[in-house]
Structure 1
């Protein structure tokens, strides 16, 4: 067994902090911070996942209102010990080319496309953490036989938890956080030609 490189050792006994991610240029792309621990996306990305994220990015960019922007593969600083990286997000932050993360209060919607290696984090851990940070909307997209199925959640203000707002197959129509109408069948690689 080989020794860990120095950069992988936490700088303090309580682990990593959110701002530490910006000082880790050796870390692999898509490194997240969950509860003070670094999480690396080491598995190869599936073509279905990457294609779906790209197509969904385009669809959202065409429908996002003025004053909001679609971000891809950017971390969200939820608190001092959590900085996850959703597949997509919608933010009200102004564009800044050097920016590396968004604050939770700048994010209206986070979207995770579930992969086998991220399933538990996307369905449970991130669902809870995004809600606790006050992000109003969360979409968790599952692969159901090659077809995307979107599980939509809205933040319930009194409880501070997400409430299910629908499961969408074939078509996603919502009025919040902005008016959106997406033909989900058009997002899959074999149907988007």
Structure 2
């Protein structure tokens, strides 16, 4: 009895990139991509399962920033931004200008509208969040960037501000228990609250 090799083919085939890599527009056209797929340097980046800390931190920063945002700004979580033709990353939390809102079918924001990008570091995203993404965000002119890390179950936030003379980020502070900054608007956040109700 002969066996058809196609009987053993996987039901899903990973997309094969075109010559030159994928483009920002391809993210909206490719079928069956996993949720929260990003485009970095023309390559698709798939998200691994989130840790509990990662999920709690995203929820907490989204809620805190929404409660403190001034008129004219808006906060959204896990939404892609257009940097250039081959880069469409998805920060964990974004603060952006309300004027960038188009319609309910919108799938991305222009980088020029973003005033703060927040990345919560996961084991699988360590290199991207510490190295690749800050360079992309700075190059796109995003003035403020926060990197949130889990240090023994407590959040540490590394705050960066864009130096217009160099086009790169400079460290504006490292915050352990409380984050209090004046820019991009007055923000005061108790970092201990992220995991205080979820002691393990």
The 1:7–1:157 alpha-carbon spacing in structure 2 relative to 1, beyond 3 Å, is: same
8 Å Cα contact 1:18-1:79 kept in structure 2: yes
The 1:149–1:20 alpha-carbon spacing in structure 2 relative to 1, beyond 3 Å, is: same
Q: Distance in 1 between matches of 2:58 and 2:163?
A: 27
The 1:152–1:4 alpha-carbon spacing in structure 2 relative to 1, beyond 3 Å, is: farther
Q: Does 2:44 align with 1:38?
A: yes
The 1:126–1:4 alpha-carbon spacing in structure 2 relative to 1, beyond 3 Å, is: farther
Name the structure 1 match of 2:3: none
Name the structure 2 match of 1:76: 81
Name the structure 1 match of 2:4: none
Offset at residue 101 of structure 1 (A): 0.6
Q: Distance in 2 between matches of 1:169 and 1:75?
A: 28
Alignment gaps of 5+ in structure 1: none
Q: Distance in 2 between matches of 1:108 and 1:82?
A: 18
Bigger Rg, structure 1 or 2: 2
The 1:167–1:4 alpha-carbon spacing in structure 2 relative to 1, beyond 3 Å, is: farther
Q: Does 2:153 align with 1:117?
A: no
Q: Does 2:38 align with 1:29?
A: no
Question: Aligned pair count?
Answer: 190
8 Å Cα contact 1:36-1:82 kept in structure 2: yes
Offset at residue 98 of structure 1 (A): 1.4
TM superposition score normalised by structure 1: 0.93
8 Å Cα contact 1:71-1:90 kept in structure 2: yes
Offset at residue 93 of structure 1 (A): 3.3
Alignment gaps of 5+ in structure 2: 1-7
8 Å Cα contact 1:7-1:24 kept in structure 2: no
- RMSD of the TM alignment (CA)? 1.8
Name the structure 2 match of 1:167: 174
Offset at residue 25 of structure 1 (A): 3.4
Q: Distance in 1 between matches of 2:80 and 2:56?
A: 20
Offset at residue 32 of structure 1 (A): 0.4
Q: 1:129 aligns with which of 136, 146, 164?
A: 136
> What whole-Å deviation, never above 9, does each CA across 1:122-141 have from its counterpart, x for those lacking one?
00000111001110000000
SS in 1 for 2:105: coil
